[in-house]
Amino acid sequence: MEWLNYHHLLYFWMVAKEGGLVPAGKVLRLSHPTLSAQVHALEEQLGEKLFTKVGRKLELTEMGRVVYRYADDIFSLGREMVDTVKGRSTGQPVRLDVGIVDVVPKLIVRRLLEPALGLAEPVRLVCHEDTAERLLAELALHKLDLVISDTPVPSGSAIRAYNHLLGETGVSVFATKQLTNQYRKEFPGSLDGAPMLLPLENLTLRRSLNQFFDRRGISPRVVVECADSALLRVFGEDGVGLFPAPSLLTEELTRQGHLKLVGQLEGVRERFYAISGERKLKNPAVVAISEAARHELFLE
């Protein structure tokens, strides 16, 4: 790997920014020959001319303009990093990279992340959706600030991460008005033989549902299986079958009138976690998410 001398890059950046060796030397308190030597050293390392002399002035070459743009980004980001670490306002939205396990309902995600957008310091959310394994690997590499998951990090995991329980909710069954009228009576026994839209077999919610059905001797007719709860909802709205969803979302799911509550599955619960690389949450946006979830969102 070729290493860049950032001192040389800084001197080049200041010369380009200030418009010449003399004004840059005044800012950096360096002599004209010293600055010139530093810029030449960078040019030799890159194998490109960065300045050309036009009369008494130095002007950036085409490659010099490319390098200047990179240098400007590098040193601007460096200032932002120092301001963030020292708790100073940067004047720019704070970036929050959140990993979202693909099975977590999108309506839950939206409500969990809303508090971060309401802080005095502006936040720019960057959401990454993937499997839990891949997102935890990204968290371990410090590419993510937080992972929202329906399961905690397994005990004995090689990844150093900490589980923060956000809350839990019951699970209910929803369907179109026609199907609701057909299966609401004698619920949940009415689910025996009913057309069901369910999560994949390997998912936590599906295992809980299977245990519920087994305890009551219920054998639904599974017509659709998928990991994405939003897709289950789409099939449900089309009348393909009945589907489970967090009871917390009952108002939102039934607000439009397309879907109705068939009934709540007693004893079936879903939990949601914020997984971070730190034992104690410190990031203000992450703290806001956690506090709102525990004290406002999951209060059914």
Please state whether the peptide bond connecting residue 188 to the residue before it is cis, i.e. omega within 30 degrees of 0: yes
Does residue 1 carry a pLDDT above 60? no
- In CATH terms, are 94-167+272-297 and 169-269 the same topology? yes
Summarised one tens digit per residue, pLDDT across range 138-154 is 988 888 889 999 999 88
Q: In Å, what is the CA distance from 48 to each residue of 45, 61, 66, 67, 115? A: 8, 9, 11, 10, 49
Alpha-carbon dihedral 129, 269, 197, 153, rounded to 10 degrees = 30
In the chain, where the domains are located: 6-85, 94-167+272-297, 169-269
> pLDDT grade, residue 122 (50/70/90)?
confident
The CATH homologous superfamily of the domain defined by 94-167+272-297: Periplasmic binding protein-like II (3.40.190.10)
Tell me the pTM: 0.67
**Helix or strand holding residue 6 (H, E):** helix 6-18
Summarised one tens digit per residue, pLDDT across range 30-53 is 888 888 898 999 999 899 999 988
Does residue 239 carry a pLDDT above 70? yes
- CATH 3.40.190.10, domain 169-269, yes or no: yes
Q: Which residue do the tokens 């089309």 mark?
A: 238
- The class level of CATH for 6-85 reads mainly alpha
What are the strands, taking DSSP E only, across 121-236? Answer: 123-130, 146-149, 162-176, 195-198, 221-225
**Rounded mean pLDDT of 26-32?**
86
